[in-house]
Structures are given as C-alpha cells and as structure tokens.
A = this chain, B = another copy of it.
C-alpha cells in the first residue's frame, strides 16, 4: 500500500455503526428478566450476519455460545462494543474496548450527566478514556442502534422491533424510540435505521448524517432533537444531506429556552427558537410541529416523486372534504391548480352534468372506481397540475379498496405526487393495505395530506434552488476595520463614531457621524458632510439624550450649528452635572425614507444571526422581525426581508412610497460579512436604517455595537 493511496483508504470512523464486522456485548445476562438478556436476545434474533461475542465477568454460556469474562478475550472479527454494565464499571469496560483495538462503542447504561454533577464527572472520565484510544461512542443513556436491512439490533427493547423500511430515525430521546417503533408499525411505515443518541457525548446526529445520506436503503431522515451541540457542523452536514435526501426535524424544548439578557432589541428578540428556525431554514431541513406530523410528512417524502411546483388538483366524490382540502392547501402555501380547458372538457364527457369540474373536482357520490382512475389520469396529464390529492370518503356504490385498486396503475405510470385521503376506519382496511404496498402515502383527513404535500413541495424547492451561494461584495476594507477595532477599548459598547467607521469600512452608508469636541470642529465637520445636519450630545453616561434636549435637528447654517452646540452642552450640564461629556456628534440630516431595524447577535450554537424588521421603540412589541444565519446569500436575505411587513412595504403600499429594496439586501449582506469577519464585534444594531427612494440607497442612522472584552 503506497502512501499516496492513504487518502482514499481513510475509513469513516462511524462505519461500524452501520455495518459492524463483529459485535461484543458487555454486560449480558442469563436471566430473562434482565436487560442484559434482552440485549443479547435482540441481537441474536436480529439476523445479524457477523460475529457476536458475549461478555460478563461471571462467564457462563448464552444461546449456545461461551460468555467471555473480559472484552480483552473476545476473538476477531470485532469492531463494535455495546456496553450495558453498571455506570461505575463503564470506565474499565471502555479501557478494555480500547485495549482490544475496537474503535466504535455504544454505551447503553444510564446514570451519567443526566443524573447530576457526579454522573457528569463519570461521563467526562469515560470520554477521556475513549479519546485516548481514538474510540467514538454513541450514548451513554441510550437504547442503541437498529439497522433493519444489514440487519442488526443492539437495543434491549421488547420485541417486535421496527418493520424494515426506508426511514432513518435519529433521536435524542430513548423513550420516543420505543414509542415510534410500535407506532410506526400501525402506520404501515418502516425504518431503515434507528439511532438512539442518548447524551451525545462523543457522537451526535451531525456525525452520522453523511453515511445515512449515502445509504441506499434510506429515503428520508427524521430527527427528534432536544438541542444541537455543534451548530455549524449540523448546518453543513444537513445542507449536504438535503441535496440527496429530505430531512424532517422535530425540535422539542421550545418553551424551556428562556430569554437572553436584553442588551439590544436584536438580542431581546433573538431567542434559541429563532436560531433553530433560521438554522433549519438555512440547511433546508423541514421543521415539523408534532411527532405525528413528522412521520406523516416523512411518508410522502420517502414515497412520492418531487412536484414541479405548488399547483394542486383535488379529486373527490363529495364537496365537503374538497373544501377542507382547499383550505388546508392554502394554509400550507399551496394553491389550487387552474385546470386546462381540455381537461375540463374531457372530464365532462363521463362525469354527471351536476359534477363540479373546476378544481376541486367533485365527481359526486355516484362516482365509480373507473371515474376516479380516469379523472385522476386527466388531472395528472394536465400541465398546470403539479400534484394531486384524491379524497375518498366511504363511497356507497363501491368499496374504497376498489377505488384505490383502479387508481394504482394510473399513479404508477405518472411521475407526479399523488396523496390519498382514505376517510374512515374499519371500511378502509383493504384500501390502506393496497396503497401502502404500492408506496402511496395515505391519510385519514384532508388536512394531514395537505400538510404533507406542503412539506414535499417545500423540499422540492430546496432541491431545485441553489439558495446558499454567498456572493462577493465590493468595497470591503477588512484591514481598515481590523486596525480600527484594535484601537477600540475592549469590552462594552462602542461610541457611535466608532461604529460608523466600522460600517463604512464594510461599505454601509452612515449619516457621516463624527465627534466634535469643540465648537469650531463641529462647524468644520458640518461643512464637510454637508448641510442640513443634526447635532447630538456625545456622552456614554447619558442614555436618553433626546429627553433632555440633547438632540437638535435640521441645522442649516454655521451659525445654527454654533448655537446648537452651546445649547446642547448647557442642557446636558444642567440635567446631569456629574456626567462625563465628550462633546457633540455631528451627522447628516436625512429626511424621508422608510425606517427599518437590522442587526446581528451571536448565537451560542449557530454563530452570527442577523435580524431585520420594523424598527423604532416598538420593535419588541410588534415582533415584526425575521432572522437569518450568516453568511447570508442574496436569496436568503431577500426571503428574510420579505417575511416581514417592514420588508414588504419597501415595495410601496397605498400612500407609502416605494423605497430602495435592493440597498437593504446589500446592507444585510455587508452586515453578514462584518459579522463573519469581525468576531470581536459581539452584537450590532442599526435602528433606524433609513431606506431612501429607489436608487438612493440606505443609510444607517443610529448604530450600537458591543465589542469583546
């Protein structure tokens, strides 16, 4: 083996979690009431094709095989160790795993970080041992792994295990795994992989995504997350995966997240949930609201071709459910397709004259299975239709099974998604079985089908659009900005003239603010930036400057500037005799334009997060804001702006004149760049950013920024 091949030969360290060559189970038991017995039984019965080795210090025999007394004694091949020994024995077992040369482990045992500081210490000890041997492990405090295709099962759950299928499920909660295995069987779905990740001490979902993305047996990935440890890796891994396979995530713990200390409006509004929303949006991960919704989406994502757009036809034999579907579709961002005249004419040839041929197509209760199949064929062949929802309430003239049977060949010979709403329960058994065997997703109610189709259509746009291409920006002077920040006092909030300089170095226009310590200097600055100007008290000690008359607007002449300078200093001394006063800030007077807020904070998981929205003092009450993670692409910035009313009205609304929309996108991209390139700036806010008429740009008026201490 020549060195130049080493690069290609590098083995993914997580491979043993997918296709282990041999598994050692440490902590097995001969007592059928013990979890250590269940563990061994499940693997033994799973059909695992590799070698299984049992370990227990007491020795003995299990399923006709010898129980070794130490991991060290187990013969080759073995590349995965499952530890179900008491917590205090885990360090020793991990040591033996390392000494045996095994590089992948699962710690099923609980009693670690989740139980308090003592457990956390033990967990840290185990991690150090593992790292010293180069071992990556899943858990502790988890249920293990099930792979239904390889197959193998390292769980200690009661049988039966999950049916084999095409959905990978990764979960931070072990209890949810057990529930999902049982529940999914009743739903006609199946799993390819189940990963219970426990405390995620060494291996998290991000580590496994790449291998799952390339697994031919998996068509959709579902995640049950209680948080994310490495935000950047998660976004990178998920973004890459989504190009191959859809990911649906349920993030729980929304209301536990609490609020940040509110240093700025941006900080006050940028909660942990906004960051997760922004991260999922950036990565193209579909965020489900409930566990059930996650799996209902997953079936459509696994089984349906991708739709070309959001135009949906609804086919039914009764009005009510059709209306319900239309409602739900609009709610999920879909629209009812306008059917072509030729489609309508063709439908009219065999449907009763009282049938409704506009979308939703209501064939009336007399519809027979052939009406369903022929109408569906016409809808699928209509170029204005991207997908179809077929709704079948229990039809009196025939059975739902016959309806599905008639439609199957039509669905299978077209490459557009068809979702079935088979209403009822006891009368639809045959129909449901037929649909599932043919991998056509079925739902009980129109709302669930519409929601799933919405997710499928969103995923199609994620696949089609290259949304995350960050473009290069001109006129950015990073060196200049670096030099500036080196001179700033570390810690706390920056002066406005400092923040102005920083923004300008990144090509964001400001109102040309500069500090004048003396009256003459103020006049000089004013004539340099051009009249009219505004004078503002410069004092870090006085926060509400306009309240004490510390702001004078609209100064047109040198004379007025001199007068205002004296007035401001006098008022300041009167109101706050003890305050340190630096002088007066001079800036351009900007009239007209729309006012918005923008800024960024640094999320502990996901890094710099930008905000845009309705500014002013009411920003926290109105909550008309949107978030996006840096680095922003132009597409992402545009989407973010348009999610707010502040952004939509930039295009003009009634008596509100249109403003320079493009300059706002440019400002956001530059602020994103600043956030990425200047990690020493912890937080920044422009409130207001004045957006002038189209072509005239945007100007940062009031700017706050916090520098690292």
List A residues at the B interface (Cβ < 8 Å): 35, 38, 110-111, 114-116, 119, 156-158, 160, 171-176, 178-179, 181-187, 224, 226, 252-256, 289-292, 316-321, 323-324, 326-328, 330-331, 354, 364-365, 393-394, 396, 423-428, 444-448, 544, 614, 617-618, 620-624, 645, 648-649, 653-656
Tell me whether B35 and A448 are in contact (CB under 8 A): no
Tell me whether A327 and B445 are in contact (CB under 8 A): no
A116 to chain B, nearest CB (A): 8
Tell me whether B38 and A320 are in contact (CB under 8 A): no
Which B residues are in CB contact (< 8 Å) with A254?
Answer: 327, 330-331
Which B residues are in CB contact (< 8 Å) with A160?
Answer: 426
In the bound complex, CA of A232 to CA of B203 (Å): 62
Which B residues are in CB contact (< 8 Å) with A354?
Answer: 110-111, 114-116, 119
Q: List 26 A-B contacts (CB under 8 A).
A: A157-B394, A157-B396, A171-B320, A172-B320, A175-B320, A176-B321, A176-B423, A178-B393, A178-B394, A178-B424, A181-B394, A183-B424, A184-B425, A226-B323, A252-B327, A254-B331, A255-B330, A255-B331, A290-B445, A290-B447, A291-B446, A291-B447, A292-B445, A544-B655, A617-B654, A621-B653
A439 to chain B, nearest CB (A): 20
Tell me whether A183 and B423 are in contact (CB under 8 A): yes
Which B residues are in CB contact (< 8 Å) with A617?
Answer: 654-656
In the bound complex, CA of A592 to CA of B394 (Å): 64
In the bound complex, CA of A632 to CA of B324 (Å): 31
Which B residues are in CB contact (< 8 Å) with A256?
Answer: 323, 326-327
Tell me whether B182 and A423 are in contact (CB under 8 A): yes
Contact among B187, B328, B621 with A649 in the assembled complex (CB-CB below 8 Å): B621
Tell me whether A255 and B327 are in contact (CB under 8 A): yes
A388 to chain B, nearest CB (A): 18
Tell me whether B323 and A183 are in contact (CB under 8 A): no
Which B residues are in CB contact (< 8 Å) with A426?
Answer: 160, 182, 185-186
In the bound complex, CA of A253 to CA of B654 (Å): 29
Which B residues are in CB contact (< 8 Å) with A621?
Answer: 645, 648-649, 653
Tell me whether B396 and A156 are in contact (CB under 8 A): yes
Which B residues are in CB contact (< 8 Å) with A182?
Answer: 394, 423-428
In the bound complex, CA of A111 to CA of B622 (Å): 51
Tell me whether B394 and A158 are in contact (CB under 8 A): yes
- Residue among A319, A320, A428 having the largest count of chain B Cβ atoms under 10 Å: A320
A55 to chain B, nearest CB (A): 22
Tell me whether A175 and B317 are in contact (CB under 8 A): yes
Beta-carbon nearest neighbor of A355 in chain B:
B115
In the bound complex, CA of A175 to CA of B331 (Å): 23
Tell me whether A173 and B321 are in contact (CB under 8 A): yes
A426 to chain B, nearest CB (A): 5
Nearest 6 pairs of A and B residues by beta carbon: A173-B320, A175-B318, A186-B425, A182-B424, A179-B423, A175-B393
Tell me whether A324 and B393 are in contact (CB under 8 A): no
